Amino acid sequence: ATPAATMVGTTLGAQNGVLFKGGDVLERAKDVDTVVFDKTGTLTKGEMELTDVVVFNADGQPRTDGGDTIANGGQLTSREHLTEADVLRFAASAESGSEHPLAQAIVEGAEERDIEVMEPDSFENVPGHGIQATLGGSKILVGNRKLLHDNDVAPDPAEDTMQRLENEGKTAMLVAYEGELIGVVADADTVKESARDAVSALQRRGIDVMMITGDNERTARAVAKQVGIDSQNVRAGVLPEDKSDAVETIQDEGRKAMMVGDGVNDAPALAVAYVGTAIGSGTDVAIEAADVTLMRNDPLDVVKAIRISDATLAKIK
Ligand code: ADP
Ligand code: MG
């Protein structure tokens, strides 16, 4: 492109909240044939909310009745009287040191329900899987199936409950106490208003739209369905460090991929993509790794970025 065309494009972009890092990015964007969206915070608002707490009895059955609150000081004294409040207190206390949006929603959900959140003796993030904490000398796990497996706790009794919640698009997390499954908590996120329109506008341009997430397959597919992404185009259960590999695999097929993401997790994937796009309230790390920054938190601006590139460069041909 001529310097003049580049200037027109970048200016037009800036006026629309689409920041191109230089003329070659502006030029590449029009050739994108695949857009890969991160799920959380990109297609969804990333504002998690606690929606469900399920108690599991010692026989491994989910319970629906109330029961008394008997757990004190982080100590579980009797399995029979375990309540939803207890499960939530253990989960929230274990998560209280974590900055993960899933964790924050659990802590806020507990506080809203006037449940006392205690500070754990220690805790450890297990990236892509959950958290492991010690509370009053007892070991608590909150996370996915893999986290429990790796700690020799069978997640199977909760499978029906997990699947029911995941089919609703929620992220369901298992809670274990001292090596026993005691419950499930679930957080839900909301899809951004314009996500569906953005996906269909891209598809109308002949662009293949994909989604990549660390979340499980079932939840991922439920969200993909809400925004109009084909379930075959969903890459779920991708660990933070594997997101860039996943983008490379897609590009190894000869595709020119635009990766759109907001998180620290997404930075390496943004860097390897043909065009890396950071969206909205994205972290500085993501913005730094990206070629394009969308100032507004609006997935429709992905379409705008491609259209601006297309229009500016078409003019000068
Ligand atoms: P995302 O790509 O959606 O940001 P992550 O890679 O951070 O997801 O996490 C993947 C999965 O690991 C989550 O869906 C959840 O099941 C589990 N997980 C991660 N962090 C936590 C946490 N702090 N508490 C409970 N579960 C977690
Ligand atoms: Mg994200």
- ipTM (interface predicted TM): 0.95
pLDDT digits (tens, 9 = 90+) for 283-292: 788 888 999 9
Closest CA to 129 of 173, 183, 182: 173
d(CA 66, ligand 2 centre) in Å: 35
Nearest ligand atom owner, CA of 266:
2
The reply to whether CATH 3.30.420.40 applies to domain 49-188 is no
pLDDT digits (tens, 9 = 90+) for 179-191: 999 999 999 999 9
What kind and span of H or E run contains 214?
none
Task: Tell me the β-bridge partners of 143.
Answer: 130, 174
Angle at 277 between CA 273 and CA 281, to 5 degrees: 140
> What spatial distance separates the first Cα and last Cα of the chain, rounded to whole Å?
8
Helix then strand then coil, in percent of the chain rounded to 5, is 45, 25, 35
d(CA 251, CA 56): 44
d(CA 277, ligand 2 centre) in Å: 12
**Model confidence band, residue 264 (pLDDT cutoffs 50, 70, 90):** confident
Contact 54, 91 (CB under 8 A): no
Instruction: Using the predicted structure, report yes or no on whether residue 74 has a pLDDT greater than 90.
Output: no
Angle at 240 between CA 21 and CA 40, to 5 degrees: 75
Side-chain half-sphere exposure of 292, counting CA atoms within 13 A: 37
d(CA 131, ligand 1 centre) in Å: 9
State the CATH class of domain 3-45+190-315. alpha beta
Nearest ligand atom owner, CA of 285:
2
CB neighbours of residue 252 within 10 Å = 8
Instruction: Using the predicted structure, report yes or no on whether residue 212 has a pLDDT greater than 70.
Output: yes
d(CA 227, CA 199): 7
Pocket test for ligand 1, best of 93, 129, 140 (most atoms within 8 A of CB): 129
Catalytic positions are 38
The pocket of ion ligand 2, defined by CB under 5 A, consists of 38, 40-41, 262-263
Tell the residue nearest (CA) to atom 21 of ligand 1.
130
Nearest ligand atom owner, CA of 189:
1
For residue 14, give every residue at least 6 positions away whose Cβ sits within 8 Å of its Cβ, in sequence order, or none. Answer: none
For residue 67, the model assigns a pLDDT of 47
Contact 104, 87 (CB under 8 A): no
Of the two residues 5 and 202, the one the predictor is more confident about is 202
Instruction: Using the predicted structure, report yes or no on whether residue 276 has a pLDDT greater than 70.
Output: yes
d(CA 251, CA 210): 12
d(CA 21, ligand 1 centre) in Å: 31
Instruction: Using the predicted structure, report yes or no on whether residue 65 has a pLDDT greater than 70.
Output: no
Pocket test for ligand 1, best of 96, 162, 173 (most atoms within 8 A of CB): 173
pLDDT digits (tens, 9 = 90+) for 139-164: 999 999 999 999 999 999 999 999 99
Pocket test for ligand 1, best of 215, 234, 242, 270 (most atoms within 8 A of CB): 215
Q: pTM for this structure? A: 0.83
Report H helices in 96-212. 101-112, 145-150, 159-167, 195-204
CB distance 129 to ligand 1 below 6 Å: yes
For residue 69, the model assigns a pLDDT of 46
CA dihedral over 306, 309, 311, 314, signed as positive or negative: negative
Residue extent(s) of CATH 3.40.1110.10 domains in the chain: 49-188
In b/e form, how buried is each residue of 100-124, taking b as 16+ CB within 10 angstroms? ebbbbbbbbbbeeeebebeebeebe
CB distance 96 to ligand 1 below 6 Å: no
Contact 291, 272 (CB under 8 A): no
CB distance 132 to ligand 1 below 6 Å: no
d(CA 166, ligand 1 centre) in Å: 14
Of the two residues 239 and 229, the one the predictor is more confident about is 229
Share of the chain above pLDDT 70, in %: 94
Residue extent(s) of CATH 3.40.50.1000 domains in the chain: 3-45+190-315
For residue 317, the model assigns a pLDDT of 47
